[in-house]
Chains A and B, each alone.
Chain A
Amino acid sequence: MRRRRDTPRTDGGTRREPAAEALERRYRWLLAWYPHVYRAANADDMLGVALARSTSGQRWPEPGEAVNLIVSGIGERLGGMLRQPDQRDTASVVAIAGPVLLAATAGRTIAGRFMSTPAIIAFVTPHRIVVTGIAFTAWWALVALAGMLGWRRAAAAGACLGLAGQVVMLVLAVAGYSGPLMVSYWQTVVALVAAVSALGSLRGQGRPLSWWAITALAAAAAILAGWPAVEVAFVTYTPITANSGTISDPLGAIAGWLNDGLFAATLILMLAAIVALRPAVRRRAVVVLLPAFVTTALVCWGFRGFLPGGLPLGLLMLSPLQWQDLVLVPVIGVVACIIGLRLYERRLRRRAATSAGTSRR
């Protein structure tokens, strides 16, 4: 495939590659956009048609033909992915997990309200953020419910509308009218993943998650949503007294433990939900969920002083380097997980082929 355009000659000059060869090489490069299996079945036939369409002496594919092959190849790759039941089922799971996560995070902005005093509410969560928080919590919870019940069209339509809403919130955040930009940014990313997954799962059948997995996921979401209420409860009800010029905070010691405990409980419940999936779907779900978890850990512990959610510290500005991390870490994570998944599944296929050969002998 990778031949030089100008081949060195023995007399020191260069021999120009014949036009037909150059054109064929370039068409083969364009056909590489198609999946391997498709190429194996059709590349020769397609190449014959593409070359027959060309004029004598033509060295480069026509731009329209080149774009058509690239777009068709990508379409075939995406279509091929969605035709596989494992990919479809994974898309169904992500189409539920995404809205559950979004409902939980939207719920975080309102959870603190019920455990706090009016003065603190006004400071922590402005009225408009509470209203949008309630709206988004309800909306994403309904989308998740539709997905859980296997109402895929309703879930896909809801996810697309929810994505539109998150984009509006992102624009408002950029303009300074809404909550922290970083929160809106990643909520939009999650909404995009959820909407694409919901559309990709349209041809799936049945209920994608067991009731056990749904219960675990819902419990994890409830803890995630209720977490700020616990944090605010400490701020509100901890008796703080001045003593010889120092401030004492008797409940502060267990606040950290409680936070860590809730985080661990969320993690265990999410792991339980993942374990309940069948192996091929579980592997694919990890490709999406592991980078999401690493990014969350980076935000919680890596960005010093940052607290997720609608709390005042969430308004902290991120440095350009932190923004860069926020984009690069999930992208690199997903790419690394996809490569890992492909290598692992290739090994599984080889092992299955070897064992099948052994049993035939």
Chain B
Amino acid sequence: MSEQPLREPAFLVLTALAGGPMHGYALVEDVLRLSDGQVRLHTGTLYGVLDRLREAGLIDVDREEIVDSRLRRYYVLTNAGIARLAAETERMRRNANAAASRLRLLRPAEGAI
């Protein structure tokens, strides 16, 4: 997991947690907001992502609360998670810059046609 690029749900969960500790439903809502309504995580997918991120040491449990007689768990980004998110963001920025510069070269040609 440390070498391969993060998948979109994992990247968005890390991005959401960069805003501070969150519980499961808050993460679903924040990921939806961050992705402009494009990524709505199902419960099974969310917990699969959270498990993998915890196994990789990128997030951890911040605290647990009892709400409506049910346990609610808050997740927090670890230092490794912060570093990984920063590295992933930089990688995506480089790719986006490369794509943008190629598109700039392409546009004048399109205009000529």
Contact = CB atoms under 8 A, between A and B. Distances in A.
Interface in B34-51: 42-48
29 contacts: A42-B47, A44-B70, A44-B72, A45-B23, A45-B24, A45-B47, A45-B70, A45-B73, A46-B24, A47-B70, A48-B25, A48-B71, A49-B24, A49-B25, A49-B28, A49-B46, A52-B25, A53-B25, A64-B42, A65-B42, A65-B43, A65-B44, A68-B44, A69-B43, A72-B42, A72-B45, A72-B47, A73-B44, A75-B48
Chain A interface main SS type? helix
Interface residues of A, number: 19
B67 interface: yes
A46 B71 contact: no
Interface of A: 42, 44-50, 52-53, 64-65, 68-69, 71-73, 75-76
B48 A72 contact: yes
Contacts, number: 54
Most A Cβ at <10 Å: residue of B28, B44, B46:
B44
Interface string B58-99: 000000000110111100000000000000000000000000
Interface in B10-42: 23-25, 28, 42
Contacts of B47: 42, 45-46, 72
A204 B85 CA distance: 30
Contacts of B46: 49
A50 B24 CA distance: 9
Nearest to B64: A45
B74 to A, nearest CB: 10
Contacts of A64: 42
A128 to B, nearest CB: 46
A72 B71 CA distance: 21
B43 A49 contact: yes
Contacts of B44: 65, 68-69, 71-73
B48 to A, nearest CB: 6
Most A Cβ at <10 Å: residue of B42, B45, B46, B47:
B42
A65 B42 CA distance: 6
Given A44-B71, A45-B73, A50 B43 contact: yes
B71 A45 contact: yes
B42 A48 contact: no
A17 B44 CA distance: 26
Contacts of A44: 70-72
A65 B41 CA distance: 9
Nearest to B48: A72
